[in-house]
Amino acid sequence: MQCDSGLQRWLKIPRLYNLLQDTVGGNALRRKVIQSHVRAKAGDKIIDIGCGPAQILPWLPDVQYLGLDINQNYIASAKRTHGNKGTFVVGDTKSLRHDSRFREADIVMALGVLHHLDDEDATHCIRFAYDALKERGRLVCLDGCWIPDQGFFSRYVMSYDRGRNIRTEQQYRELAGKVFTNVDAWVDKKPMRIPYVTVVLECQK
C-alpha cells in the first residue's frame, strides 16, 4: 500500500516532483540510463510505463513516444509541456492491456516503477511490456535495490521511498525471468546525491 501523506502527497504535484528529482540527482540518473541502456534511435517506437510528467522526453532522439501514468496531473503536465511530441495516456498496464497503440514497440521503459508494485502487479507490468514489444525489442527498468553490504544510512533513506516493494537484484531477475528469457542486470551503489542503490534491468524479447 502506498502512503498518501506528507511529502509523498506533495510529490503528486508535477513541478514539485521534478524539483525533487533534480535536487537528489534522480533526473541525472534517468538521463544516464537513457544514454547507456535505453539507447534509442531516431524513429524508434518507445513506450514509457509510469512516465510521470515525461521529463525524460527531451533526452530522447526523434522517436514515436507513448507515455502512460495513473496520475492525471502528471499526464496533463506532460501534454502542456511537450504537446504533440508524444502521446500521453492516463492509465496503467491493466486498463491499457488491450489498447492497440501499445504494440510493436522497439523499447519499453519502466523507470522507477517495479518497486512500487507487489509481485503479482510487477509480473503483469513485465508481461505488458513483453506483449508490447517487437521481436528482439527490449524492456529497460530502473529501480531501488537492496544489497548485502548496504550501509545503515542508505537503508534508512530507501525505507522512506514511496515504493514499498524494493527488492534484491536476484529478486528482480527472478521476476523478469518469469516472462523474458534474456535478462541482464547492473547494480549501481552510488547513482545519486543521496545514499541510494539502484539496479537496471535490460530484458530482450
Residue 193 in this model has a pLDDT that exceeds 90: no
Cα 193 to the center of its chain, rounded Å = 19
pLDDT digits (tens, 9 = 90+) for 77-126: 999 999 999 999 999 999 999 999 999 999 999 999 999 999 999 999 99
- Would you state the torsion angle of the CA atoms of residues 116, 22, 105, 98, taken in this order, to the nearest 10 degrees? 40
CATH of the domain at 73: 3.40.50.150
In a domain, 138, yes or no: yes
Quote the pTM value: 0.88
Q: 18 lies in which domain range?
A: 7-204
Residue 203: closest CA among 121, 148, 128, 96: 128
In a domain, 41, yes or no: yes
pLDDT digits (tens, 9 = 90+) for 175-190: 999 999 999 999 999 9
Q: How many domains does the chain have?
A: 1
In a domain, 110, yes or no: yes
In a domain, 191, yes or no: yes
In a domain, 184, yes or no: yes
Between CA 138 and CA 205 the distance in angstroms is 6
pLDDT digits (tens, 9 = 90+) for 112-144: 999 999 999 999 999 999 999 999 999 999 999
Between CA 157 and CA 6 the distance in angstroms is 16
In a domain, 1, yes or no: no
pLDDT of res. 47: 98
